[in-house]
Amino acid sequence: MRIGSYQLENKLILAPMAGISDRPFRELCKQFGAGLAVSEMVASNPAFREHKRTLLKADHNGETGLRCVQILGTDPKQMADAAKFNAQRGAQVIDINMGCPAKKVCSVAAGSALLRDETLVRKILDAVVNAVDIPVTLKIRTGWDLHSRNAVEIAGIAEDSGVAALTLHGRTRACKFNGHAEYETIKKVKQSVRIPIIANGDIDSAEKARWVLEKTGADAIMIGRAALGNPWLFSQANQFINSGKLIEKPTVETIQHTLVNHLEKLYGFYGNISGVRIARKHIGWYFNHFRPISQNTRDAINQASDPSQQIVLINSAFSNLTNDCAAYESL
């Protein structure tokens, strides 16, 4: 899988997820085999450019592998300027968000709302591609709703504009995350253009990863929600794609060690106060592998106010778990 002049190590990519795909999580997923990890979306509006939260979203200091920043907006010039700004800050690939279905994004005609205006799509893509000398990629959905699927048309525009690769989430904006991904639509898009196509949507196991590649003919796959609390999915998928063999599920000790290491990286990245708060959702996702722990234990962990207290409570919870296969759900 190539993006411009860059050769990825494999066919697996971590999706850009708001509030999740920060540097600690990107690094963790790369450690377990993601060939590329895309940053959280960054607004192109210059008024937010120097905001602390915006800068953290695109913070790549010390990050290994290819650095890819996703930008969001509707104004071609602002998007071009945002691409240049992030390239100057170290981005090696710029990804354009035209796939986010969130109401607050679509209400300002950004994200997947742009799919309703193919003329504006072309203007944005032309402006961004011409603004930087690094590869530009695009992420879209199959259309605005079930009656206006235009992914094939958008893919053609992207190819004409010089976009280096296209990620397609197999749902319309109206579908949000409901129903099933449209792999046939992804297959049609792949057959319609020459640029690399990355399939996204409902890829939640190693077997599904290989099946989607074969079903759609895509050049790579993008994994999002299924990686939450489950970075091992990348190593499992890599192994199964390459050999057809499944890796054993991680042990309880492995899950505990990975979680604690992840939390320590969050504390270092955000600071103790914000780190503890942001860690709570990740803790919940890791614990989803197990039979429900007591509400008292969950409450205590969520009410922890400093890193040491949070870690002690997590280790205490793990001390009550065993390696018995029945102790946690299938990954």
Active site residues: 100
The phi and psi torsions of 49 (rounded to 5 degrees) equal: -60, -40
- The structure tokens listed for 228 are 């939450």
Which one, of 209, 195, 146, lies nearest residue 172 by Cα? Answer: 146
Which one, of 120, 34, 24, 36, lies nearest residue 79 by Cα? Answer: 120
Which one, of 53, 127, 156, 39, lies nearest residue 86 by Cα? Answer: 39
Which one, of 7, 70, 1, 79, lies nearest residue 37 by Cα? Answer: 70
CA 134 to CA 136: how far, in whole Å? 7
CA 93 to CA 312: how far, in whole Å? 40
Q: How many CB atoms lie within 10 A of CB 289?
A: 19
Instruction: Report the DSSP pairing between strands 12-14 and 2-3.
Output: unpaired
